[in-house]
Structure 1
Amino acid sequence: MITPGIFRRSLRRALRWRVLLLWWAALAVSGAIAVAPVFAFLRGQLDRSTAARDAVAWMDGPTLLELVRQVRESGAEQGILVALAVALATQLLWAPFVAAAMVASAHGDESLPFSRLLASAGELYGRMLRTAVAGLIPLGAGAAVAAGALKLAAAHAADRAITETDAGRALIVAGCAAALVIFIAALVVDAARAQFAADPVRRSALAALWTGSKMVWRLPLRAAGIGAVGMVLGVGGALVLMAIRLQIPQRGVPTLALAWLLAQGAQLAVGFGRAIRIEGLAELSRADAAEASRRASRRLPPGGTTQGTEVVHSTTLSALEPPRSGAPR
């Protein structure tokens, strides 16, 4: 299998705008629900303030602490928490649908129109929901291992570290190990989702999780490379865009619009990285299955028949057969 070709195809297919638009819409709906009470609270606090313009442009520490105090005193805290809970529930319902759209888009080379994309996503919704539930197994195991590594590092820093540098080094190593474990667990879950793109007739989420785990085990470097490319371009791109956004003083409509566009670009970058992983892992799974089929065909003896299936001709049995139509008697 040619890994550079898989990378190029996954990057090209991940740019399908309909899938990215669904990703953005899912986050926009949940985000609007979450920020609605916050926006109403800030309007009540800052609309008549002479320092509102500067506070919006650069939120300093004292202003932030005063707003937090006003949230508690005005009773807006409960409404904000309810909105956050509703936004989280909405996102949990949206997430399998968006994942199903990415899987449906990864079925083939052609870009699906909206009608077919939505229909395919609806058809795959149940499978993606079951895969998300099954994915709690590797994610939970990875979280437990990561927490254990961090706990051991903290204990080492408290008991055996001689200097503050040693303690910091131990925590950094444990943090990197924990991040690697979580990365592998998330990669296995995405590999399970990709199995439905490589084999559309598959229905079992647990079987897909097992097959995806075996593929990651057999091809660790290629699978990790696809996951790393998706993370660098997705999460890394989002961090760069948000870092640029934080440097913009939002004092007018143009700067506010630019900051908003950068934030939306960061959301799309995360979706782009997610699509890269699913597209690439689906392509890798298809290539792995084709390679296994070629290896199996090479093991067959000449003639394409396996041992025990050869046809044996018997002269005695042939003589006992009735004569064929038109044959001399």
Structure 2
Amino acid sequence: MTTSLLHPARAALQWRLLALWAACVLLPTLLLALPVYSLLAGQLDYSTQAPALARALDMVALGDLATVLGHQSAALGTAGLGALLAMLALSPLLSGAVVTAARAPAPPRMKPLLAGALAEYPRMARMLCWSIVPLGAAVAGGTALLDLAQEYGRNVILPGQARLATWSAAAALALLVLLANLTLDAGRAALAIDRRRPSAVAGWWRGLGLLARRTGAVLGAYGALTLVGLLLAALLALARLQLTPASPAPFLGALLLTELIALVIGWMRAARLFALVRLALGECDKG
């Protein structure tokens, strides 16, 4: 188990792969952040209390900003939609890059990495479209559990019992979504080791077979790498919250920590897929 975790964790630390991840994440972020930045700058830059507002917003400033944001909701909604579409368009490219790096005997250079990502784009895009089914089923099941928890909460006497039921249902929803995402990554791993397989549904089904045959190894590797990635991201986010970007040095520090959080999430996603590809290759060797 230790080897199955350390190998993909180290293999996913490829600077070209992480740089591509950072670049692809940056574009949708900018599409959403720049309109918000422009709106905030127009409201706060020329205020006589700008230095104090840069450190913390008071209730009056928050109320004024809420009013302005309400007036500009259409423009911000358009920016959000553009960011979402860009993220969806780039997601298969990132998945293709991770698949290319995972099956390469050595870390590929940027040109082969991009070529492999583009070659895998159609199959990864089909997998993204198919993801609506398992993720939709997971969300529907989790939502039903939340509804049951709310109904239970109306009939109990102690508020703590209602809160426990709600938190349990929310945790079940998160686990269902994570499990659905695991099956999708297992399908991507199946597509990675068989380039002749064009069908996303067939690849996903084969990934379910891997999960059924190697349940302990798949759940252990995927869960452990997810836990490590989320823990690192949470620690970096906590450090980011301690910084008040009111001057250049704290601003650069906050920006660096934000980029590190994005890179940790990218590393986690790559390491999980590396681990699944490694397990799938082991199954093929045994077969």
Which category describes the TM-score, using the shorter chain as reference length?
A: over 0.9
Matched residue SS, 2:107: coil
Q: Give how far 1:89 is off.
A: 0.8
Q: Does 1:94 align with 2:81?
A: no
Judge conservation of contact 2:102–2:274 (CA < 8 Å) in 1.
yes
Matched residue SS, 2:46: coil
- The one-character-per-residue Cα deviations of 1:209-232 (angstroms, maximum 9, x if unpaired) are 001011112222211122212322
Give ranges in structure 1 of 5+ residues lacking alignment.
294-329
Partner of 2:176: 181
> Following the alignment from structure 2 to structure 1, what is the Cα–Cα distance between the partners of residues 58 and 235?
22
Paired amino acid for 1:144: A
Provide the TM-score with structure 1 as the length reference: 0.84
Paired amino acid for 1:217: A
Judge conservation of contact 2:130–2:200 (CA < 8 Å) in 1.
yes
2:116 pairs with 112, 120, 137, which one?
Answer: 120
> Following the alignment from structure 1 to structure 2, what is the Cα–Cα distance between the partners of residues 61 and 288?
59
Judge conservation of contact 1:233–1:269 (CA < 8 Å) in 2.
no
Paired amino acid for 2:259: Q
Task: Tell which structure's C-alpha radius of gyration is larger.
Answer: 1
> Following the alignment from structure 1 to structure 2, what is the Cα–Cα distance between the partners of residues 283 and 62?
55
Correspondence 1:97-246 to 2 at 5 A? 97-159=93-155, 161-246=156-241
More helix by share: 2
Partner of 1:259: 254
2:26 pairs with 21, 25, 28, which one?
Answer: 28
Partner of 1:301: none
Paired amino acid for 1:131: M
Paired amino acid for 1:218: R
Paired amino acid for 1:47: D
Give the CA RMSD over aligned residues.
1.4
Query: Kindly, what percent of the aligned residue pairs are identical?
Result: 30
Q: Give how far 1:93 is off.
A: 0.5
Provide the TM-score with structure 2 as the length reference: 0.95
> Following the alignment from structure 1 to structure 2, what is the Cα–Cα distance between the partners of residues 41 and 51?
17
Q: Give how far 1:77 is off.
A: 2.6
Correspondence 1:17-96 to 2 at 5 A? 17-72=15-70, 75-96=71-92
Paired amino acid for 1:53: P
Q: Give how far 1:269 is off.
A: 0.8
Paired amino acid for 2:90: W
Judge conservation of contact 2:5–2:225 (CA < 8 Å) in 1.
no
> Following the alignment from structure 1 to structure 2, what is the Cα–Cα distance between the partners of residues 87 and 235?
23
Partner of 1:304: none
> Following the alignment from structure 2 to structure 1, what is the Cα–Cα distance between the partners of residues 252 and 13?
24
Q: Give how far 1:234 is off.
A: 2.2
Matched residue SS, 1:48: coil
Change (3 A) 1:109 1:58: farther
Partner of 2:285: 290
- The one-character-per-residue Cα deviations of 1:145-194 (angstroms, maximum 9, x if unpaired) are 111111111111112x2211111111122222222211111100111111
Of structures 1 and 2, the one with the larger relative CO (CA 8 A, separation 6+) is 2
Judge conservation of contact 1:103–1:197 (CA < 8 Å) in 2.
yes
Judge conservation of contact 1:230–1:272 (CA < 8 Å) in 2.
no
> Following the alignment from structure 2 to structure 1, what is the Cα–Cα distance between the partners of residues 68 and 132?
38
Judge conservation of contact 1:153–1:174 (CA < 8 Å) in 2.
yes
Judge conservation of contact 1:33–1:84 (CA < 8 Å) in 2.
yes
